[in-house]
Amino acid sequence: MVVGMKPVSRTMAVVFLAVIGPALAWGGAVTPRQGDVAVRIAVLKDAEEAAIGIRGEYILMDPLSSRELDRGFHLRKTALFPEKNGIRLGARSFPLKRIRFVPQEYFSLFRDRQERKYRGVVDVFLTPERRLLFVNTVDLEEYIKGVLYHEVSHRWPLEAIKAQAVAVRSYAIYQVQQNKNKDYDMTNDIYSQVYGGKTSERYRTNLAVQRTRGEILIFKEKVLPAYYHATCGGATENVKEVWKHDLYPLKGVRCPFCSHSPHYSWKKNFQLKAIQEKLNKSGYKIGLIKNIEVRDRTLSGRVKTLDITSRDGEKISISGKAFRDVIGPNELRSNDYRVVMKGYYCDFIGKGWGHGVGLCQWGAMGMAKQQHTYDEILMYYYPGTQMVSVRSLEALK
């Protein structure tokens, strides 16, 4: 419950200006004001209930009218529920479709007995399905601090972590530009960049963020969607084989730097019946599988199309990308494999982990170990790009 009613301090006003001011003024678009950029991440979606706690002073407000609803000092873990026409916080109901908490220090979200701490501000939305959506608006640099831990080991060479920081920052800004008319820019799962908030910060990942502050990659005056992946297995993939982009810096390079990766080569055994079931669940119609054959490959050597035939003679063709989605991207770690049929089973013998586009994380680590600097690493995996300050974006418009 709300405890204490101290007046809002000066620090509080600074937090408010730094995060909320720009967020309100820009509606999430990248129009840097005094160098500040905020990103909006859906940290919790479709929640039937959740709980929030706040450390330090805070304001609760209606973000649409900017009306203050409450203020206080330390909010202990308090449940939030969707209601028919509003949002319930503990015993109080607010007849609003969106409320905003502005904490001075940080807030915690509790779900499934786990607490996760976040910096910045949180908007709680009542969705048309009567669920709660939590969107964290946070300074770009703080966001990257909350992502890096999930992407690379904080024990890796600093130059590799710095290269990753610039890639994450560029990708985030690209998403902000793409989603400016939506309620949020990114989710916090594997479909954008895993973001764990303050809970995921570590000393060396924070250092890498500070030492690359504001640096992003551009190509032909546009922010690069700086894709990255764990291990390429020898060559990175051309982005156009995976997504609807055709960009020179993402056309793929040879990578002799990731052979020490634990993901460099792998072997996975599948029951053909399990593959058949997964295909049918995803809308492909096929009986008992007799053969799986690679029909063609991309220039980097990854599977482009697979032909699958059943014992009854049915045949389907499926793209390597679609097949990996059907099987599960962590079950089938990459598209760089060959298939060995073994009766009712088959082996996938492959290399690398991930889609293979852009920066190879274990390759970046290998380059850093060979004394390459972070900008050399970035220029290797994203050739033709330029590194600029996020503050110069306005000039690019």
Smallest Cα–Cα separation from 320: which of 298, 300, 340, 341?
A: 298
- Closer residue to Zn ion (CB): 36 or 159: 159
**Dist CA 222 CA 363 (whole Å):** 25
Report the residue count for the chain.
397
Containing H/E element for 143?
A: helix 140-151
User: Which residues 308-337 are close enough to bind Zn ion by CB under 5 A?
Assistant: none
- Closer residue to Zn ion (CB): 168 or 360: 360
- Closer residue to Zn ion (CB): 30 or 360: 360
For residue 397, give the amino acid letter: K
- What binding mask, one character per residue, do residues 209-238 give for Zn ion by CB under 5 A, x or -? -----------------------x------
Nearest-approach distance from CB 386 to Zn ion, in angstroms: 23
**DSSP notation for 66-99:** TEEEEEEEEEEEEEEEEETTEEEETTEEE--SEE
Cβ atoms of 171 and 217 closer than 8 Å: no
Containing H/E element for 45?
A: strand 38-47
Which CB contacts under 8 angstroms, 24+ apart, belong to 34-38? 35/214, 35/390, 35/391, 36/139, 37/139, 37/140, 37/173, 37/176, 37/390, 38/120, 38/137, 38/138, 38/139, 38/140
Residue 258 sits in the site that holds Zn ion (CB under 5 A): yes
Nearest-approach distance from CB 360 to Zn ion, in angstroms: 3
Nearest-approach distance from CB 258 to Zn ion, in angstroms: 3
- Closer residue to Zn ion (CB): 166 or 232: 232
Among 38, 218, 247, 255, binds Zn ion (CB under 5 A): 255
User: Which residues 344-363 are close enough to bind Zn ion by CB under 5 A?
Assistant: 360, 363
- Closer residue to Zn ion (CB): 346 or 365: 365
Indicate the DSSP class of residue 128: T
In the three-class reduction of DSSP (H, G, I as helix; E, B as strand; rest coil), residue 285 is classed as coil
- Specify the pairing of strand 289-297 against strand 265-271: unpaired
- What binding mask, one character per residue, do residues 16-55 give for Zn ion by CB under 5 A, x or -? ----------------------------------------
List 44's β-bridge partners, or say none. Answer: 134
Q: How many CA atoms lie within 13 A of 50 on its CB side?
A: 24
**Given the rule CB under 5 A, which of 39-47, 49-57, 250-258, 376-384 is the region that contacts Zn ion?**
250-258
In the three-class reduction of DSSP (H, G, I as helix; E, B as strand; rest coil), residue 316 is classed as strand
- Closer residue to Zn ion (CB): 168 or 286: 168
Nearest-approach distance from CB 254 to Zn ion, in angstroms: 9
- Closer residue to Zn ion (CB): 232 or 272: 232
Nearest-approach distance from CB 363 to Zn ion, in angstroms: 3
Residue 163 sits in the site that holds Zn ion (CB under 5 A): no
**DSSP notation for 318-357:** EEHHHHHHHH-TTTS--S-EEEEEETTEEEEEEE-BS--B
- Closer residue to Zn ion (CB): 140 or 255: 255
- Closer residue to Zn ion (CB): 30 or 255: 255
**Given the rule CB under 5 A, which of 18-26, 114-122, 192-200, 253-261 is the region that contacts Zn ion?**
253-261
**Dist CA 223 CA 177 (whole Å):** 9
Number of residues that bind Zn ion (CB under 5 A): 5
Nearest-approach distance from CB 255 to Zn ion, in angstroms: 3
Nearest-approach distance from CB 259 to Zn ion, in angstroms: 8
**Given the rule CB under 5 A, which of 211-219, 252-260, 323-331, 372-380 is the region that contacts Zn ion?**
252-260
Smallest Cα–Cα separation from 353: which of 262, 258, 267, 230?
A: 230
**Dist CA 279 CA 266 (whole Å):** 23
Nearest-approach distance from CB 183 to Zn ion, in angstroms: 36
Nearest-approach distance from CB 350 to Zn ion, in angstroms: 14
Indicate the DSSP class of residue 356: -
Smallest Cα–Cα separation from 193: which of 242, 253, 150, 159?
A: 150
- What binding mask, one character per residue, do residues 175-204 give for Zn ion by CB under 5 A, x or -? ------------------------------
- Closer residue to Zn ion (CB): 32 or 157: 157
Nearest-approach distance from CB 250 to Zn ion, in angstroms: 14
Binding site for Zn ion (CB under 5 A): 232, 255, 258, 360, 363
